[in-house]
Amino acid sequence: MMLMGKTRWWRPAVLALGVAAVTCATLGAAPQEQPVGFVARPGPARSAPVTPPREAYLIGPEDVLSIVFWKEKDLSGDVTVRPDGKVTLPLLNDIQAEGRTPDELRDAIKEAARTFVEDPNPTVIVKEIKSRRVFITGQVDKPGPYVLNGDTTVLQLIAMAGGLREFADGSNITVIRKGAQGTSVAAFNYRDVLKRKNLAQNIQLKPGDTVVVP
């Protein structure tokens, strides 16, 4: 009688454990259901930042160019762009260079050379950039002309020139610019810009600008 009582007591426990095992196995095998109407979508793709293309270089006065013709040494040589914007080449005479890119000038020379060469193939190389110059004078360590190789502000030009001298009047710096409408003068306060005040006065310089540091 006691053995039967013990058997009856264990039987519900064994059944409960079996049901629990089957339930766990079933839950593990079944796919996880998603709410009705829910559609999984990938997040928005992040594209790499686009760098704006740089403007092509335009030839200017005083630039030194090397014009090379394949197998035509008589037409080849180094030339300097004149103040009127033109260059003089053997046989081809004057050709407009200012305001053109090297590729555009090459095409113009190629077209002009067809009269003398059956299949001209010229190359234009900018050897020295002298047209994109700005000037700084007065109380800086290294006054003189500087070539604009990229975007350059007044503050950057002062740094390129070695900074202000001890007795320079940094509050009354001027930027002189010559344009089609005449000559304009802009004020620049060095100390204010260092204090992050009136930053709009720290303008981008253009070829031909002159910065005067009293």
Q: What is the CATH number of the domain that holds 205?
A: 3.10.560.10
Among residues 84, 106, 128, the one where a domain terminates is 128
Mean pLDDT per 10-residue interval, the chain, length 214 residues: 47 49 47 47 57 76 94 88 94 92 96 89 93 95 93 96 96 92 94 94 95 97
Q: Is residue 39 part of a domain?
A: no
pLDDT of residue 118: 86
Question: Taking Cα atoms as reference points, which of 130, 68, 150, 57 lies closest to residue 99?
Answer: 57
Q: Strand 122-128 vs strand 173-179: parallel, antiparallel, or unpaired?
A: unpaired
pLDDT of residue 107: 96
pLDDT of residue 161: 97
Residue count (the chain): 214
Range list of H helices, the chain: 2-29, 102-113, 154-160, 190-194
Q: What is the CATH number of the domain that holds 123?
A: 3.30.1950.10
Q: Is residue 99 part of a domain?
A: yes
pLDDT of residue 47: 59
Q: Is residue 25 part of a domain?
A: no
Q: Is residue 49 part of a domain?
A: no
**CA pair distance 106, 121, nearest whole angstrom:** 9
Q: Is residue 40 part of a domain?
A: no
Question: Which are the contacts of 185, defined by CB distance < 8 A and separation ≥ 6?
Answer: 174, 175, 176, 177
**CA pair distance 193, 21, nearest whole angstrom:** 76
Question: Taking Cα atoms as reference points, which of 90, 62, 61, 95 lies closest to residue 77?
Answer: 90
Among residues 83, 106, 128, the one where a domain terminates is 128
Question: Taking Cα atoms as reference points, which of 106, 154, 39 lies closest to residue 95?
Answer: 106
Q: Are the C-beta atoms of residues 205 and 152 closer than 8 Å to each other?
A: yes
**CA pair distance 125, 101, nearest whole angstrom:** 11
**Domains: count for the chain:** 2
161: left (phi over 0), alpha (psi -120 to 50) or beta: alpha
152: domain range? 133-213
Domain match, 159 and 114 both: no
**CA pair distance 7, 105, nearest whole angstrom:** 106
Give the distance between the most distant pair of CA atoms in the chain: 130
